[in-house]
Amino acid sequence: MFTRCPARTFLVLIPLILLTALSLRSVPQDEGPSGQAQGEIGYHSSHDAEQRKTLLLKDFQPVSMLHARAHQLERARYYVIDVHNHTNDAMGIGEQLPPERVIQVMDATNVRTIVILTGLWGEKLGKVIDQMVKPYPGRFLVFTQIDWNKIDDPDFSREMVTQLDDGVRRGARGLKILKDFGLGVRDKSGKLIAVDDPRLDPVWEECGRLGIPVFIHVTDPEAFFHAIDNRNERYEELIEHPDWSFYGPQFPTKESILAARDRVFARHPHTRFVALHVANWPENLDYVSRMLDSLPNVMTEFGAREAELGRQPRRAREFFLKYQDRIMFGTDNAMAEEMYRNHFRWLETGDEYFDYWGYPGQGRWKIYGMELPDQVLEKVYHRNAERLFGEFRGGLAGGPP
Task: Cis check for the bond before 154: say yes or no (omega within 30 of 0).
Answer: no
Q: In 181-253, which ranges are continuous DSSP H helix? A: 201-210, 235-240
Q: Which domains does the chain have, with CATH numbers?
A: 80-389 (3.20.20.140)
Q: Which of 34, 28, 31 is nearest to 48 (CA)?
A: 34
279, HSE (Cβ side, Cα atoms, 13 Å): 27
Would the pTM of this model clear 0.85, i.e. be above it? Answer: yes
Among the listed residues 105, 161, 103, 107, the one whose alpha carbon sits nearest the alpha carbon of residue 133: 103
Question: Each residue of 32-65: b (16+ CB within 10 Å) or e?
Answer: eeeeeeeeeeeeeeeeeeeeeeeeeeeeeeeeee
pLDDT per residue of the chain (401 residues) written in tens, 0 to 9: 444 555 555 444 555 544 454 444 444 445 555 556 667 888 899 999 999 999 998 899 999 999 999 999 999 999 999 999 999 999 999 999 999 999 999 999 999 999 999 999 999 999 999 999 999 999 999 999 999 999 999 999 999 999 999 999 999 999 999 999 999 999 999 999 999 999 999 999 999 999 999 999 999 999 999 999 999 999 999 999 999 999 999 999 999 999 999 999 999 999 999 999 999 999 999 999 999 999 999 999 999 999 999 999 999 999 999 999 999 999 999 999 999 999 999 999 999 999 999 999 999 999 999 999 999 999 999 999 999 999 998 533 334 33
Q: Which helix (H) or strand (E) holds 101?
A: helix 99-109
The DSSP line for 268-336 is -TTS-EEEHHHHT-TT-HHHHHHHHHH-TTEEEE-TT-HHHHHTSHHHHHHHHHHTTTTEE----S---
Which residues face 327 on adjacent strands? 300
CA dist., res. 380 & res. 320, Å (int): 9
16: Cβ–Cβ under 8 A, 6 or more apart, which residues?
none
The whole-angstrom separation of Cα 284 and Cα 277 is: 12
The CA distance from 252 to 258, in Å, is 10
Q: For residues 183 and 254, what is the distance between their CA atoms, to the nearest angstrom?
A: 10
